[in-house]
Amino acid sequence: MSDTTITTARRLGRIPPYLFAEIDRKIQAKKAAGVDVISLGIGDPDLPTPPRIVSALQEAATDPANHRYPSYVGLRELRGSIADWYSGRFDVRLDPDSEILPTLGSKDGISHAPFAFVDPGEVVLAPDPGYTPYATGAIMADGEPYMLPLTAANAWLPDLGSVPADIRRRAKLLWLNYPNNPTAAVAPAEFFAEAIRFCSANGVILCHDAPYTEIAFEGYRPPSLLQFPGGKEIGIEFHSVSKTYNMTGWRLGWSVKPPKATFYVWAPVPKGYDSISFAGHVLDQVGVNITPGVGFGPHGEGYFRLSVTAPDARLDEALDRLRTLRV
């Protein structure tokens, strides 16, 4: 037997514990104890993938030509279809051969983007609260995440003018995500224009994570970064079929402003709780799982997120349970 101790890279020590794994452990413990837990925590659509998509997959799986390694840049037909969709949806013209790259999933592209653009010591500007791979991807590439607070007072938009000059000089990427997870906020055209000017002036690549553009209400149509002047020149947009087409498996009360997009509700926790203790209280008292806002970053503290992706009957039951909650 060897006495050699295997150590992990120091960068792993900079990544905080994954809150959602602990939440899942608690949920499984509740289920094992006989509690009928209704989970409104994860953004995983409850509806099945459309049958025509499933049928197309089944048919394609029988073709031996699809049993071999694919092209490194994705099928030309796929890239062409993506270009056609962007043209019809956003009136944006994209070259399938040089401006579109399919990945294993948008998370794959998001987490690996810093490896392509960020050198050790360079800065990645990321929203807080926000999707954790924006910051952890920077850490894994030996970059330095600089968190931009999203607050209700600023309509959940980052204050780009507050970024210090020394950070702007070292910044390489800026992450935006509208419609937003977890806050469900949307960004006006003026903000996209401001972000493009900020990135152009500072030599920063604008990375827009846009998986929720097709989940919107009351006639609102979320825009693409690429449709704004200068957006294509300074930006990269990440899209996904997971949320729009229910393909994620392929690879309540208090003061809430109804969102214009996404399937999330972002709401403040009651007085006397932080976001983790309130989520635990809800799970313990009524068997409903919600996501603590702090899981998306320190500035998410004081809020919780609901994902309304359960079947209607289960969602109604969850709301009935939440109405009985004692706080």
CATH number at residue 262: 3.90.1150.10
Domain boundary residue among 238, 261, 293?
Answer: 238
HEC readout, 40-93? CCCCCCCCCCCHHHHHHHHHHHCCHHHHCCCCCCCCHHHHHHHHHHHHHHHCCC
Based on the number of CB atoms within 10 Å of its own CB, is 210 exposed (0-12), middle (13-18) or buried (19 or more)? buried
Q: How many domains does the chain have?
A: 2
- Same-domain pairing of 43 and 87: no
Summarize the confidence of residues 253-281 as an average pLDDT.
Answer: 88
Confidence of residue 128 (pLDDT cuts 50, 70, 90): very high
Q: CB of 293 within 8 A of CB of 31?
A: no
Summarize the confidence of residues 292-299 as an average pLDDT.
Answer: 93
Q: Evaluate if residue 252 carries a pLDDT over 50.
A: no
Domain, as residue range, for 169: 80-238
pLDDT digits (tens, 9 = 90+) for 80-116: 999 999 999 999 999 999 999 998 888 899 999 999 9
Domain boundary residue among 215, 238, 261?
Answer: 238
Please state whether the predicted TM-score (pTM) of the whole model is above 0.75.
Answer: yes
Q: In terms of pLDDT, which residue wins out, 2 or 54?
A: 54
Please give the pLDDT value at position 211: 94
Q: Worst-scoring range by mean pLDDT, 30-34, 82-86, 192-196, 250-254?
A: 250-254
- % of the chain at pLDDT higher than 90: 68
Give the CATH number, domain containing residue 207. 3.40.640.10
Q: In terms of pLDDT, which residue wins out, 13 or 281?
A: 281
Helix (H, G, I), strand (E, B) or coil at 133: helix
- Same-domain pairing of 19 and 89: no
Distance of CA 159 to the CA centre of its chain: 20
pLDDT digits (tens, 9 = 90+) for 220-248: 999 999 999 999 999 999 999 888 887 77
The token pair at 272 is: 């006397």
Please give the pLDDT value at position 6: 81
The average confidence (pLDDT) of the chain is 91
Phi (first) and psi of residue 171, to 5 degrees: -75, 140
Please give the pLDDT value at position 241: 86
- % of the chain at pLDDT higher than 70: 98
Confidence of residue 57 (pLDDT cuts 50, 70, 90): confident
Confidence of residue 14 (pLDDT cuts 50, 70, 90): confident
- Same-domain pairing of 89 and 215: yes
Please give the pLDDT value at position 53: 87
| Torsion-angle region of 176 (φ positive above 0: left; ψ -120 to 50: alpha; else: beta) | beta
